[in-house]
Amino acid sequence: WPASVEVIDSHTEGEPTRVVIAGWPPPAGGTMAERRADRGARFDHLRRAVVQEPRGHEAVVGALLTPPVEPDSQAGVVFFNNVGYLGMCGHGLIGVVRTLVHLGRWMPDAADGAIRIDTPVGTVGAVVEADGSVCIRNVPSYCHAKDVAVEVPGIGRVVGDVAWGGNWFFLTELPEPPLDLAHVDELTAVTRRILAALRAQGITGADGAEIDHVELSGPPSRSDADGKNFVLCPGGAYDRSPCGTGTSAKMACLYARGALALEAEWRQESITGSRFTGWLTAEGSRVIPHIRGRAFITGRTTLYFDPDDPFRAGIPAS
């Protein structure tokens, strides 16, 4: 155990990111996937301590910075939450870039103005735009399966798409409950039942990959948005932002259905009313999502781990 860990907190369109900047022993591995596995094997107590209560809460996504693994990248990152580790995290990456700028570790006007960051699922890019917003270039995304039916206890037959946006998603629409903050408890309960049914019925992503996000879509509340979503994250919390990997998955599904053209903007509203702007480009046969949003630094904290603290390793996630 280190005596303490230093972090920078931010939020991206409402969703918190906690970037570890000092105190965490570096994970071993020649790839980001190996480093993620090493973290889980040797340092999972620190994951729990940093993001779970009493130092964090269920919505916090952590990010551990590492040296890059690719020669033309500037950093590596492993994202984690209250129950485990993520492949990619769109809002988290925006928060990481804003944190690096805040610390002076990367200047937006350096070189060609872009930064490359290695993640366990591939290298992503980002630029800081003139108004301070961050635009990320995500990993290639795609719709894996259309019109997948799942029988959900208490709800009935639910039909949706399975898609990859850096994490695995089941995307669907329901007539109720409404997509608004007044119904967050109901939305959370419904999406948890859908997620449990997907697992029970063996519905997966490619190569048996576990689907760990559920995204409900509906009409926007804002006049400057094209759709609104509610996203259930792996730890049972809902995403306060429009979800970067979820927006990537959504655009990939729209594109697969001929409902979104390359380069056309998709303005995604979150359950909290915040917004991402996204679009797709092509790289050969692959579709590349781009997501623009804003992040704001909210604090710099030293987290202490007293050996006598009964919750040094956090309160287990429910």
Angle at 66 between CA 163 and CA 128, to 5 degrees: 65
Among candidate residues 135, 143, 243, 253, the one labeled active-site is 243
Look at the block and give the residue holding tokens 């155990």.
1
Residue 21 CB partners (closer than 8 Å, separation 6+):
6, 7, 8, 65, 99, 103
Among candidate residues 89, 135, 233, 253, the one labeled active-site is 89
**Do the bridges between strand 213-218 and strand 168-172 make them parallel or antiparallel, or are there none, so unpaired?**
parallel
Torsion angle defined by CA atoms of residues 311, 312, 313 and 317, in that order, rounded to the nearest 10 degrees? 30
The helix or strand, by DSSP H or E, that contains position 212, with its residue range, turns out to be none
**Do the bridges between strand 213-218 and strand 227-232 make them parallel or antiparallel, or are there none, so unpaired?**
antiparallel
**Between the CA of residue 78 and those of 31, 75, 89, 257, 293, what are the distances in Å?**
11, 10, 9, 32, 20
Does the annotation count 89 as an active-site position?
yes
**Measuring CA to CA, which residue among 227, 194, 190, 186 is closest to residue 212?**
194
What are 282's two structure tokens?
């092509």
- Identify the three-state secondary structure at position 85: strand
3-state secondary structure labels for all residues of 168-185: EEEEECCCCCCCCHHHHH
**d(C-alpha 21, C-alpha 167), whole Å:** 24
Q: At residue 256, what are phi and psi to the nearest 5 degrees?
A: -65, -25
Residue 253 CB partners (closer than 8 Å, separation 6+):
143, 146, 161, 163, 171
User: Active-site positions?
Assistant: 89, 243
